[in-house]
């Protein structure tokens, strides 16, 4: 190999190494502080194969789900929570939050009256005028645990006790932006939900 070719080969290796290091650094810096793959409060984007992003508290998870726009505390009332999430979702729709921001579609809880560990479902648009979005096959610990739910973003929804959307088995049809404090008293889906879909349906 000539000296020129050796120099070019070395230069190529250096460029490739630098690119890999830069991408690794960018990925690490993009990860939300305090996030993990498990925790008491997680955020799950729409679509098959998504991995939950988890936190030790609901306020931290909700802040992540709304790109930092919604800040709450233990004393935040249900009405305040609803208003802040609606405002954050509206900001996404207006483009104020940028193209990568997400909206809160639903929050499912493993205890009645919106208590216990929780899973916040997100997508990049609200439901009116947009296609149906799916969260198939909830994985442990989120499978078969939910006892209450809240819907947002102009969405109706269906919760299924089958990991396959529209598959056989029990299902519960949520009305427009419905809050259900006790799925056990409203349906047969309590502690059985394995998948979820949301859509407009004239909401």
Give the number of domains in the chain: 1
**pLDDT (mean) for 123-138:** 93
148-186: per-residue pLDDT in tens? 999 999 999 999 999 988 888 889 999 999 999 999 999
Give, in degrees to the nearest 5, the angle at Cα 146 between 181 and 52: 120
pTM comes to: 0.81
List CB contacts of 108: < 8 A, sequence separation 6 or more. Answer: 118, 119, 121, 142, 146, 148, 149, 159, 193, 196
Within a domain: 177: yes
**Whether 66 contacts 104, CB under 8 Å:** yes
pLDDT for the residue numbered 32: 54
What does pLDDT average to over the chain?
A: 83
pLDDT for residue 108 is more than 60:
yes
Q: What domain range is 73 assigned to?
A: 41-199
Within a domain: 1: no
Within a domain: 111: yes
CATH code, 155: 2.60.20.10
pLDDT for the residue numbered 170: 83
User: Quick count: other Cβ atoms within 10 Å of Cβ 115?
Assistant: 12
Q: How far apart are CA 181 and CA 203, in angstroms?
A: 20
Within a domain: 22: no
Left, alpha or beta for 61 (phi > 0: left; psi -120 to 50: alpha)? alpha
pLDDT for the residue numbered 31: 44
Within a domain: 69: yes
**Whether 200 contacts 177, CB under 8 Å:** no
């Amino acid at each position: 190999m000539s000296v020129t070719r050796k120099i070019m080969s070395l230069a190529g290796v250096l460029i490739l190494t630098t690119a890999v290091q830069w991408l690794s650094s960018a990925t690490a810096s993009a990860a939300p502080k305090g996030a993990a793959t498990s925790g008491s409060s997680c955020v799950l984007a729409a679509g098959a194969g998504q991995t939950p992003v988890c936190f030790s508290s609901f306020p931290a998870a909700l802040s992540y789900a709304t790109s930092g726009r919604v800040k709450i505390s233990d004393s935040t009332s249900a009405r305040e929570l609803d208003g802040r999430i609606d405002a954050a979702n509206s900001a996404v729709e207006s483009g104020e939050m940028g193209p990568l921001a997400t909206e809160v579609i639903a929050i499912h809880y493993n205890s009645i009256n919106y208590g216990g560990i929780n899973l916040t479902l997100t997508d990049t648009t609200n439901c009116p005028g947009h296609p149906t979005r799916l969260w198939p096959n909830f994985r442990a610990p989120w499978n078969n645990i939910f006892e209450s739910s809240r819907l947002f973003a102009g969405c109706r929804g269906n919760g299924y006790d089958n990991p396959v959307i529209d598959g056989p088995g029990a299902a519960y049809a949520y009305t427009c932006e419905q809050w259900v404090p006790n799925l056990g008293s409203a349906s047969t889906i309590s502690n059985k939900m394995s998948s979820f879909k949301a859509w407009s349906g004239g909401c």
